[in-house]
Amino acid sequence: MLYAGFMSAAPPPVPASQDPVQPQELLQLGIDPDEPCLRADAARNRARLLEAAALLVAERGADSITMEEVAAAARVGKGTVFRRFGDRTGLLTALLDHSEKKFQAAFLTGPPPLGPGAPPAERLRAFGLAMLRRSAEELELQLAAEPEAGRRFTSPPRRVLRHHVTLLLREAVPDADCEVLAHTLMAQLDPALIHHLIRQCGMPPERLESAWLDLVDRVTGPASAH
């Protein structure tokens, strides 16, 4: 079985992570750190703009939308968009940040099995399914925000996600090299790979979800203990 041979030999003690996630890397869930005291009308406008931008990105891709189109879709003045986000890059960054906050809230404090309260293997299964579905819904946005090669594994959002997977693996398979194994599992959830498999290879999302569940079961199931 996958990883059975790797886990059968007792690995040396795993040292503490050399790349720990710092508390400030956890996004301030539900809070815009730049504007903590938005007026109610400004907060509503911001939410409408982000919702409109998300719909346009899903329909046409991140590269083709303009600030003017987002303003029209949200039924606000063009100046409101520029005042709120500065430029198109700022808008897309805010949109992805908003999505990251919602997802972090779900796996850090939300209900099980994605959130606390379920066994680690169940949480891993739920985490991957949620990641795959999120990526399928906002694939263009995630590809547009893809870090450059030198920052691919060090950008704060990815570090937080990988750290979470590492912690769950340490509970589920404490004898494994969980830091390396977390990289392996996260590779199956990479937006570029999801784009290739769904858009270029024509695989249905359900096949990717089934493959994730199979991978987690093989890694954390009874065979991994032998």
Could you read off the pLDDT of 3-57 as tens digits, one per residue? 333 233 333 343 344 455 554 455 433 334 444 445 777 788 888 898 898 888 8
- Decide if 50 contacts 27 (C-beta within 8 A): no
For the domain covering 37-86, report its CATH number.
1.10.10.60
Q: pLDDT by residue (tens digit) across 163-208?
A: 999 999 999 999 999 999 999 999 999 999 999 999 999 999 999 9
In 3-state terms, the chain is what percent helix, strand and coil (to 5)? Answer: 70, 0, 30
Q: What is the pLDDT of residue 26?
A: 53
Which residues of the chain are in CATH 1.10.357.10 domains?
Answer: 88-221
Per the confidence metrics, is the pTM higher than 0.85? Answer: no
End-to-end CA distance of the chain: 11
Judge: domain 88-221, CATH 3.20.20.60.
no
Tens of pLDDT, residues 83-112: 888 888 788 888 888 888 989 999 999 999
